[in-house]
Amino acid sequence: MAAATPLLKDELDIVIPTIRNLDFLEMWRPFFQPYHLIIVQDGDPSKIIEVPEGFDYELYNRNDINRILGPKASCISFKDSACRCFGYMVSKKKYIYTIDDDCFVAKDPSGKDINALEQHIKNLLCPSTPHFFNTLYDPYRDGADFVRGYPFSMREGAPTAVSHGLWLNIPDYDAPTQLVKPQERNTRYVDAVMTIPKGTLFPMCGMNLAFDRDLIGPAMYFGLMGDGQPIGRYDDMWAGWCTKVICDHLGLGIKTGLPYIWHSKASNPFVNLKKEYNGIFWQEEIIPFFQAATLSKECTTVQQCYLELSKQVKEKLSTIDPYFTKLGDAMVTWIEAWDELNPTGDNLAKLSIADGPAKTKK
């Protein structure tokens, strides 16, 4: 009997930010090998990153980013995993799965290896229920359904733009929580997927995340973080807040829950505290800003929504710190760069194919 063709084999890219050799891919080989990888190398571009044999990948380092984007490369963070969003921009696929290089294959309660990618794909291919909460969680999963009292007119659901996965072992805590609970490990496997309700923000973690690039890609900008910036470790949070506001406006859904990966290593809480210090204070004003943010009905595309949000960021958050003026400008640059690399209609003829990655391997 022939093996089943992997789901979305030619429609999904796996994006991995890294500064080290990708030995962790050996563990993921049964699940990842059929797919195309986009590796975004952070840090020193002269360092050689080793990728195990047999993977189909392209690798971009900082020199490639500068060459491809020119002056617009300023919107891509350096010395921070936020650089991964460059991979979203150069992908030509409909779906993206992104994973950190310290994330290993987890096991479900029966001891079976979890195919995280397959579960993310299932989440994305089924509708979401952002407008009315189903108490049995995802009604589209096998063995579940809409409960009594759920309006029939709403059972078609909304398209799913984002699938947010979780982690066993090392939880995704901020530095103060890490310092208070250095030995805490997540051993709770909750067999549930749920839609985050409309109007509710959430902390999006980028280490085990999938999304529909066609539906929401341009909103998945991981901000200005790391080298030369006054903040770090808020890259995925920023993308999550922007994405949620835009998904709510456009009638799209975001799911969270399964799949789990095994997060193998805790980052240094003292280093993290230095990166997060400003963000811990700033988020107390950033969150109310996003909770109150509204977009005009003229905004019908992700790009239009994102540009309107960038204006609001500059107007309303720059009083916190001048960094937000810079970030608002970078949001505009990001959209300009996205549209240059992903032209539509008339722009298609202007596309230059000259700029490829430094390294590709089939």
Q: How confident is the model at residue 361 (pLDDT cuts 50, 70, 90)?
A: confident
Q: Per-residue pLDDT for 358 more than 80?
A: no
At residue 321, does pLDDT exceed 80?
yes
Q: Say whether pLDDT at 195 is over 90.
A: yes
pTM for this prediction: 0.96
pLDDT of residue 355: 56
pLDDT tens for 57-86 read 999 999 999 999 999 999 999 999 999 999
Poorest-pLDDT segment among 16-20, 242-246, 346-350: 346-350
Per residue in 29-60, pLDDT (tens digit) is 999 999 999 999 999 999 999 999 999 999 99
* Nearest Cα residue to 252 out of 344, 162, 119: 162
The predicted structure's pLDDT at residue 362: 60
Question: How high is the pLDDT of residue 345?
Answer: 60
The pLDDT of residue 3 is above 90: no
Tokens linked to 101: 């290089």
Nearest of 157, 30, 50 to residue 101 by alpha carbon: 50
Q: Report which secondary-structure segment, H or E, holds 64.
A: helix 62-69
CA separation, residue 49 to residues 20, 209, 214, 276 (Å): 6, 23, 30, 28
- Among residues 144, 133, 335, the alpha carbon closest in space to that of 253 is found at 133
Question: Residue 351: its pLDDT value, please?
Answer: 41
**What pLDDT was estimated at residue 62?**
98
The rounded percent of the chain whose pLDDT value lies above 70 is 95
pLDDT in tens, 265-319: 989 999 999 999 999 999 999 999 999 999 999 999 999 999 999 999 999 999 9
Please state, rounded to an integer, the average pLDDT across all residues of the chain: 95
Backbone phi, psi, residue 361, to 5°: -150, 135
What are the strands, taking DSSP E only, across the chain? 12-18, 36-41, 56-60, 95-99, 103-104, 160-169, 193-195, 208-212, 253-263, 359-361
Confidence of residue 158 (pLDDT cuts 50, 70, 90): very high
Which tokens in the block code for residue 109? Answer: 């309660």
Instruction: Kindly report, residue by residue over 210-262, the tens digit of the pLDDT.
Output: 999 999 999 999 999 999 999 999 999 999 999 999 999 999 999 999 999 99
Share of the chain above pLDDT 90, in %: 93
**Residue 250 contacts residue 131 (beta carbons within 8 Å):** no
